[in-house]
Amino acid sequence: MRRSECMREIGGSLHAMKLRALWFTSVIVACSSPAKPVEPPTMPTDPSTPEPTPPTAANPTAAADDPYLWLEDVGGDKSLAWARERNTKSEGEITKVASFEKTRDRIRAILDSKDKIPNVNKRGNLYYNFWQDEKNPRGLIRRTSLAEYKKAQPTWETVLDIDALSAAEKENWVYAGQTCLYPSYDRCLISLSRGGGDATVVREFDPIKKQFIADGFSTPEAKTDAAWKDKDTIYVGTDFGPNTLTNSGYARIVKEWKRGTKLSEAITVYEAQQTDIGAGAARSWDHGATYDFVSRVISFFANEQFIRGADGKLTKIEIPNDAGAGVWNKQILITLRSDWTVEGKTWPRGALLGMPFADFLAGKRTFTMLFEPSPTKSLAGSAEFKSALVINELEDIKNHLYVWTVKDNKWSKKPFGGKEDLGSTLVWPVDAAGVSDDYWMAKSDFLVPDTIALGKLGGTPQVLKTQPAFYDAKGLHVEQHFAKSKDGTRVPYFQISRKDMVLDGTHPTILYGYGGFEVSMTPGYSAVSGAAWTERGGVYILANIRGGGEYGPAWHQAALREKRQAAYDDFIAIAEDLIARKVTSPKKLGIVGGSNGGLLMGVMLTQRPDLFGAIVCSVPLLDMKRYHKLLAGASWMEEYGDPDKPEDWAAIAKYSPYQNVKKGVSYPRTLFTSSTRDDRVHPGHARKMVARMLEQGHDVLYYENIEGGHGGAANNEQVAFMQALEYTFLAKQLGLE
């Protein structure tokens, strides 16, 4: 469970490696990584997979049931011509609204601001940062010293200019991350995407000489997961050729690849099943020890985990398949997603357990519960240091930090210190591999700009960076409310509004929701929504519906598969509560969601069209009859169910938007957005929904970014344009203009 460093730099522990194997990018929240300086360009994301052969070719008989199947041909001339035609209409309407240009330019200025906090990763004695602004739209990998970083205006050394690289190679490269060799940090594996999709090329880079290594490790474009074992060896899962991908499109085989040999000569470490999601491997460094871990990802929340010996032999970590495990300071740390009865004792789902790793491998099960869940409390993450663990607990979506230490295999706990409020506090290690007690602390609040501080366990942190206020929050305040869902469940939500707001039902309001994959929606400074909405007098609502992780695995599992309607009932309950409290009214209430949240929007459109005045539905899942056949869909069946099974389809059919939209119903005006280059959620979902609604005579808009991946945009210019479209559309429909 080594957090920010493991996720973004060295692969870290087994738990992080497992999550990376799932390509579940939103797990960054749970990993206690730095808060973003401005709100992200898109909603939380799901896993991804390569683009399959267009379904029209694979299953011609399906066309009889779905006349818009041709729109699943992602790059086909006919489907792209259709998308461009819709783009022209949407642009023609929305960009002519008086506030559009001002909103777009304001958002672009925020995204490009040189006053954003540059979050850094320490490698050796240097601090690395990835930076984008107006002059560097694709971004720079750069570095500086700690002394410089502490300055208001640090001097940075450019390590790699993605814009210059793109120009030199005549490619539209989008930086997709890197993993660097510990502890020397003199080699990195850099991932580059064409246009922003999840498929990448991986190339070995020398950060000292600041150049790619001509004969270094390099993989062709694919959904590749690569991690260092040592300077001359990497673990790699990729498309090795026929039958090497799972049904979900991920690497079925992970191999050990030696320097100087061909990729085809790499030695197989593990082969997952065709029906699994995939396989992964990584080396973890901790307190001077190394561990090589292998993971078979069976389904989205189920896996088998192994430790790999020097002889290549795999020893299974005997824990429940839906649990996660890592090693810190010779202790195994296990997170549970279901109750686990072992040696006559039942440990509750959501718990974090610890015990000596050697004892565990020897068969003992004498755990200490480092985090005990409750109906209002969940584990938000942990951070690992030389002398202690910092456990981040979430109680009614408020952070509480505790320091755990172990001596002679006995654990003790004390408060970290600090004030808990309606904001987020994250702590993560400055150094990797348990070599120091230095930590970064990020504080984020709905209304107060982010800060980042540097500290040492037991001491007082020093604030190094404070983000400027990107919008005027004077007169605004934050409240937490609870709505009662259809089954009586208490569902929280946050409200950002004017303190002196009169409750008369007239206020243009945006309600945002996600509700899936155990992703928690937590407080944070949202510069874009602040500038584009709340500063102008609009109300912003953040929903914490079931399906998320705000109250741990139980909160997520309450909306799984056949219980999915619970998440939708929660969202409806919040909307009705806002109306009952006279914050807003149906014609003034707009809703926004993307990816799984886009599915939520589609369900709201078809189930409760009377409740909303406008909807923005971004990169959505909508055709739940075919979602498992499109891109990453097969990997999400644990979340939604298998439409090919009659008992599962019986539940899915009740809410699948594409099958439930009808002619003759009055629907709220809706803007659907997607990306051609999205290789996570297929753009065919949104395309087909729009085509069907237009055929039925409904007034809807559609905009498809021709690049940008699941984020919907590949650079700040595109992000600003897409977000301005959405906020301007909502402002027009809800009367904020």
Q: With beta carbons less than 8 A apart as the criterion, state whether 303 and 18 touch.
A: yes
Alpha helix positions (H), 543-683: 553-557, 565-580, 596-607, 637-640, 646-652, 657-660
SS3 state at 21: helix
Active site residue 698: no
All residues at 6 or more sequence positions from 236 whose CB lies less than 8 Å from its CB, including other chains: 202, 217, 219, 224, 225, 226, 227, 254, 255, 257, 263, 266
The bridge status of strand 398-407 relative to strand 410-415 is antiparallel
SS3 state at 102: helix
The length of the chain is 737
Alpha helix positions (H), 144-200: 146-149, 162-169
Please give the DSSP secondary-structure letter assigned to residue 629.
G
Tokens of 733: 């429909």
Q: With beta carbons less than 8 A apart as the criterion, state whether 29 and 519 touch.
A: yes
Long-range contacts of 419-424 (CB under 8 A, 24+ apart): 421/445, 422/398, 422/446, 422/478, 422/480, 422/494, 422/523, 423/399, 423/448, 423/523, 423/524, 424/35, 424/399, 424/522, 424/523, 424/524
Q: With beta carbons less than 8 A apart as the criterion, state whether 274 and 242 touch.
A: no
**Among 710, 526, 736, 490, which Cα is nearest to 619's?**
710
**Among 700, 679, 675, 676, which Cα is nearest to 690's?**
700
Phi, psi dihedrals of residue 120, rounded to the nearest 5°? -130, 155
Catalytic residue among 299, 595, 656, 675: 595
Please give the DSSP secondary-structure letter assigned to residue 7.
I
Cα–Cα distance for residue pair 325/440, rounded to 1 Å: 24
Phi, psi dihedrals of residue 363, rounded to the nearest 5°? 105, -5
Describe the crossing of helices 100-112 and 716-734 by its angle, rounded to 10 degrees: 140
- Please list the residues that pair with 290 across neighbouring strands: 285
Secondary structure E strands in 213-322: 218-222, 225-230, 233-237, 253-258, 267-271, 278-286, 289-299, 302-308, 314-316
Torsion of CA 135, 440, 24, 286, to 10 degrees: 120
- Per-residue burial over 252-276, b if 16 or more Cβ lie within 10 Å, else e, is bbbbbbeeeeeeeebeebbebeeeb
**Among 136, 142, 135, which Cα is nearest to 157's?**
142
Cα 660 to Cα 538, 604, 605, 606, 625: the distances in Å are 31, 11, 10, 6, 11
**Among 564, 567, 548, which Cα is nearest to 556's?**
548
Active site residue 412: no
Nearest 5°: CA angle at 97, between 91 and 102? 100
The set of catalytic residues is 595, 710
